[in-house]
Amino acid sequence: MPTPDNPATIESLYLQHHTWLRGWLYNRLSNSADAADLAQDTFVRVMQRRMAGQLAQPRAYLRTIARGLVIDLWRHRDIERAWLEALAELPEEQALSPETSVLALEALVEIDRLLDQLRPVVRRAFLLAQLEGLKCPAIARELGVSVASVERYISQAMRHCYLATFAAQPL
């Protein structure tokens, strides 16, 4: 079996499974262009992971990566759809430039990715505080937890966002 830490074995993995993977993706997306893009992205991820050892079940491994990429694509499209709907409701004098709109959409996708890494209860507490403006006692009642737990959850979320922002900064 191929080992994805060697270019020759990555090529072999690609040649043996690319057509199958593209078909598998097409069955889920019903769009040949998206299926082709995500198949390529799947193999890029394989190369980036540079895992050692052999793949006992290469199709299962590729399918797992591809499934995550499909979910990311759907989430990105949901965010983009909501963003475009919000933009359409803005008065014309407040319309954003296309460049600003694209940058805002990229930021929203990144925020969604960061928040998705949080445990659901932590994410919910953080969103209730940030988006709804609720105070810790109200969030505690909403979630059925103690105020101390809410404070801890919000602190965890803030630390996560801060560390992600700090890690993304160039040195």
pLDDT digits 0-9 by tens, 1-57: 555 556 668 888 899 999 999 999 999 999 999 999 999 999 999 888 876 456 788
Indicate the domain borders of the chain: 7-79, 93-168
The CATH number, out of the four listed (3.30.450.40, 3.40.50.620, 3.40.50.300, 1.10.10.10), of the domain defined by the range 93-168: 1.10.10.10
**CA geometry: angle 24, 9, 38, nearest 5 deg:** 30
What does the pLDDT read at residue 8?
63
Candidate from 44-48, 64-68, 121-125 with smallest mean pLDDT: 44-48
Burial class of 119 by CB neighbour count within 10 A (0 to 12, 13 to 18, 19+): exposed
In the chain, beta strands by DSSP E = none
Task: Report the distance separating Cα 135 and Cα 125, nearest Å.
Answer: 10
Query: Closest Cα partner for 119 from 159, 65, 69, 156?
Result: 156
Cα 98 to its chain centre, rounded Å, is: 23
Q: CA torsion, points 36, 37, 42, 47, in degrees to nearest 10?
A: 110
pTM tops 0.75: no
Cβ-contact 108, 83 below 8 angstroms? yes
Residues for the chain: how many in total?
Answer: 171
